[in-house]
Amino acid sequence: MVTLMFVILIILFVINVPIAIALGLTTISIFWISGDVPLITLPQRMFAALDSFPLMAAPFFILAGKLMEHGGISEKIVEFAKSLVGQLKGGLAHVSILTCVIFAALSGSGAATTAAVGAVMITAMVKEGYNRNFSSAIQAAGGTTGMIIPPSVPLVMYGVSAGTSISDLFIAGLMPGLLIGLSLMLVAFIISKKEGYGASIESTSFKRIAATSKDAFLALLMPVIILGGIYGGIFTPTEASVIAVVYGFFVGFFIYRRLTLDVIRTILVESSITSSVILFIISTASLFGLLITREQIPQSFANLFVTLDLSPILIILLINLFLLIVGTFLETIAAIIILTPILLPVAVEIGVDPVHFGIIMAVNLSIGLITPPVGVSLFVASQVGKTKYEGVVRAILPFLLMMIVNLLLITFIPALSIGLVGR
């Protein structure tokens, strides 16, 4: 049955059946053939998978990110980032990455971060003489921080799947996210120096930083309220997601006055579609998870590593390699829902903390956002930047290599993630 299951799944993927439908059809087919589970119970199991209070954080954070994206907050953050790093060599490239890091703490999504910041920055960079492919690649690479810096939707999904504290995962994502942001800025500096991309922005000053921080104060206050409330035990991550929506609406509608009724309608439609897709993937992936559990695939996978008698270092390297490959073609949320029950027991068996492993998974799959042939952020960046996908792929390679270096550091230096958690 296991062989048949993967054959059906691969065939559906090859003929471009959407992931959620492919997972559902595979599960239904196997249960129908085996007759082990009455098919009438499957819709009930799909609904039960969504009946989770922590899971409610995902659609609310998605809606909050859309409110930030359309509410004029990204422009305020860009001006603040310019005052901090705009005077450096390749200034606008650094501004883009720093803005992505800050916006990641608002949106919780890699693709949303790329789209929101790219819409502002790519045109500005091209006007200042930056190569369009390089400008688009910067946005795609910077957007990966949205997968790691809290509040991160993928970390919420991992927390639900692994039964791990989402608050701990959020804390653990801070240092790796900042590390990735700084390392990407280093790559941008080296390339900018080589290509002659100068700092076209006047030197910074305390007065200018104070002025831009005042304009961006309400935008910068949001992650402080959300993360401070979570870490301070004032509210849960799910409650924080609702507060983020209310705050984003209030600032965008009453303060910045960018959220008209037409824009709000667009935001609600986009958020509903995105949330529906994610929740449908979760429901069908839960069915697939039931199937792989009944077939004892996690146990078989763990036993395989035991029989091979591999060292813990080699096992975690193989897991990383596997996740890197999976991330290139499988949607992030689906990958987390499907693979967490399989890989987490193996990781725990070799002594990896569950929170640390969640960060490792998130970093791996964030690299998948900028890795061909799928690379969702690459497609988003090429569309926003109005350039060819192939050109962005070539320009992203140095950033991709740096991301892999970061992955190794985060994997083998657990203190970078769980150091702040106190584990």
- The structure tokens 């999904």 sit at 157
- The answer to whether residue 423 sits within a structural domain is no
Q: Which long-range contacts (CB under 8 A, 24 or more apart) does 177-182 make?
A: 177/101, 177/104, 177/145, 177/148, 177/149, 177/150, 178/101, 178/149, 179/406, 179/409, 179/410, 179/416, 180/144, 180/145, 180/148, 180/363, 180/403, 180/406, 181/97, 181/98, 181/100, 181/101, 181/142, 181/145
- The pLDDT score that the predictor gives to residue 98 is 85
pLDDT digits (tens, 9 = 90+) for 131-167: 999 999 998 899 888 889 888 888 988 998 899 998 8
- The answer to whether residue 266 sits within a structural domain is yes
Residue 366 CA to residue 261 CA, distance in Å, equals 34
Give residue 169's identity as a one-letter amino acid code.
L
Residue 242 CA to residue 358 CA, distance in Å, equals 24
- The pLDDT score that the predictor gives to residue 298 is 64
Residues in the chain: 423
Asked whether 78 and 99 are in contact (CB, 8 A), the reply is yes
- The pLDDT score that the predictor gives to residue 319 is 92
Asked whether 21 and 29 are in contact (CB, 8 A), the reply is no
- The pLDDT score that the predictor gives to residue 236 is 82
Asked whether 365 and 106 are in contact (CB, 8 A), the reply is no
- The answer to whether residue 152 sits within a structural domain is yes
Contacts of 95 (CB under 8 A, 6+ apart): 78, 81, 82, 85, 86, 121, 201
Longest dimension (CA), the chain: 72
- The pLDDT score that the predictor gives to residue 356 is 96
Q: Which long-range contacts (CB under 8 A, 24 or more apart) does 128-133 make?
A: 128/92, 128/197, 128/200, 129/197, 129/198, 129/200, 130/92, 130/93, 130/197, 131/195, 131/395, 132/385, 132/386, 132/387, 132/391, 133/385, 133/387, 133/388, 133/391, 133/392, 133/394, 133/395
Token pair for 378: 């690459």
- The pLDDT score that the predictor gives to residue 95 is 83
Could you report how far apart the first and last alpha carbons of the chain are, in Å? Answer: 41
Q: How many domains does the chain have?
A: 1
- The answer to whether residue 147 sits within a structural domain is yes
- The answer to whether residue 368 sits within a structural domain is yes
Domain that holds residue 298: 2-418
- The answer to whether residue 342 sits within a structural domain is yes
- Residue stretches of the chain with pLDDT short of 50: none
- Give burial (CB, 10 Å; 0-12/13-18/19+) of 124: middle
